[in-house]
Amino acid sequence: MGKRKIIHCDCDCFYAAVEVRDNPLLRGRPLAVGGSPNSRGVIATCSYEARAFGIHSAMSSARAAQLCPDLVFIKPDIAKYQVVSKGIHEVFKQYTDLIEPLSLDEAYLDVTDSPFFAGSATLIAEDIRAKVSQQLGITISAGVAPNKFLAKVASDWNKPDGLFVIRPEDVASFVVALDVSKINGVGKVTKAKLNQMGIETCGDLQNVGEAELIQSFGQYGTRLFSVAQGKDDRPVQTSRVRKSISVEHTFSEDLKDIVSIIDRLPVLIDELRARCERKLGQDRVIAKRFVKVKFFDFTQTTLEHKIETAHEEWDSNDIYRTLLEAAWAREGKPVRLLGVGVRLSVRENVAGRQLSLL
């Protein structure tokens, strides 16, 4: 565990930070990057000044405007953020080739064999943060640790614009007091279940056997057992395998009935078909179709259908329509968002399993 040196870099309020950099008059003001509060807008990210009002990402823009009437809304400029992200990664590449991007503003770096600063991951992280600030005008928080799990926890420890280091010899004492909510994948439901079992911290989790955790949480129990002890053997992956392709539409007005829902389906499938043609890799095949329905109250449901034969048309309007009808019938409420997509699997070395896109 102590042989690896992992840095997790996470930009602070990335979209908002870029907008403030480009317009200093916004500095110090509550700012949200996202859709309009007068439509079905959703917050992508917000400044720390906005967070003080209880605003957060994925919140509806209308609700955010209620919480903070002086909130400044800015429409996302993804092309601009991509340029900044590319500049950040150019800085990363000065120290290592082992970079695992998680999003435009977040990445793991393995600097175990980096020759810079006599191999000090801490000094490398400090230098990265300084260069990004000087060259790109935004701040990065970083975590340094012997593995990915702890590095990600550490990067959030001293936000914003902070650095936190967990040395190998400090792992055991650090994780004992770590709240289970810090474990990736432990959301509200899992945390509540753990708390009901009397488990508040990783130290508590260490006292539970792996078999019991598997019985309660399935295979995820194995990961809980491992990370509770500060262990995480996952390597930094320089390439990520695409597992699905999808498109979603959020509507300015709720779709009240199944007829209006089905009317939107052809456009969604056309967009999905075009996206698959652009993004489907040579070693990936379409294994399942799925639909997503988000209702007016933000509850949602998904439904999928396995493709059985190589000759079956994956983009069949009829099957997607059947899936949508069944998914909507689960709640029968007005709909704010529809999504359609496909699940991917690795291509087998059998001609009959190589599904055509057309």
What are the boundaries of each domain within the chain?
6-12+79-171, 15-77, 172-227, 244-353
Q: Which residue has the higher pLDDT, 282 or 357?
A: 282
pLDDT of residue 348: 55
β-pairing verdict for 43-46 and 31-34: antiparallel
pTM value is 0.76
Out of 19, 49, 100, 106, the active site residue is 106
DSSP state, 263?
A: H
Residue range 7-29: average pLDDT? 96
Burial (CB count within 10 angstroms: exposed 0-12, middle 13-18, buried 19+), residue 301: middle
- How close are the terminal C-alpha atoms of the chain, in Å? 48
Residues 172-227, CATH architecture: Orthogonal Bundle (1.10)
Give yes or no: 106 in active site. Answer: yes
Q: Does domain 6-12+79-171 have CATH number 3.30.70.270?
A: yes
Q: Using 50, 70 and 90 to split pLDDT, how confident is the model at 358? A: very low
Considering only the top CATH level, what class is 15-77? Answer: alpha beta
β-pairing verdict for 106-110 and 6-11: antiparallel
Per DSSP, what are the bridge partners of residue 89? none
Question: Does 34 score more than 70 pLDDT?
Answer: yes
Is 10 assigned to a binding site?
yes
C-beta neighbour count of 124 within 10 angstroms:
22
Question: Does 352 score more than 90 pLDDT?
Answer: no
Nearest to 73 by CA among 36, 44, 42, 23: 36
β-pairing verdict for 335-346 and 300-306: unpaired
Write down the CATH superfamily of domain 244-353. DNA polymerase, Y-family, little finger domain (3.30.1490.100)
Per DSSP, what are the bridge partners of residue 277? none
Element (H, E) at 9: strand 6-11
Query: How does the average pLDDT of the chain come out, rounded?
Result: 90
pLDDT of residue 282: 67
Report whether 234 contacts 148 (CB < 8 A): yes
pLDDT of residue 355: 42
pLDDT of residue 313: 79
Q: Dihedrals φ, ψ of 348, to 5°?
A: -85, 160
The rounded Cα 69 to chain-centroid distance in angstroms is: 29
pLDDT of residue 351: 42
342 vs 315: CA distance, rounded Å? 9
Question: Does 109 score more than 60 pLDDT?
Answer: yes
Residue range 81-103: average pLDDT? 95
Q: Which residue has the higher pLDDT, 317 or 282?
A: 317
Which range is least confidently modeled, 76-90, 97-111, 230-244? Answer: 230-244
pLDDT of residue 275: 87
139 vs 54: CA distance, rounded Å? 22
Question: Does 330 score more than 70 pLDDT?
Answer: yes
Q: Which among 91-95, 192-196, 343-347 has the top mean pLDDT?
A: 91-95
Is 257 assigned to a binding site?
no
Which range is least confidently modeled, 125-139, 142-156, 209-223? Answer: 209-223
Residue range 130-141: average pLDDT? 96
Dump pLDDT digits (tens) for 39-75: 778 899 999 999 999 999 888 899 999 999 999 999 9
Residue range 172-197: average pLDDT? 91
The rounded Cα 291 to chain-centroid distance in angstroms is: 20
pLDDT of residue 357: 40
Q: Using 50, 70 and 90 to split pLDDT, how confident is the model at 274? A: confident
Which amino acid appears at position 81 of this protein? Y
Token pair 């120290």 in the structure block, residue? 95
Question: Does 1 score more than 50 pLDDT?
Answer: no
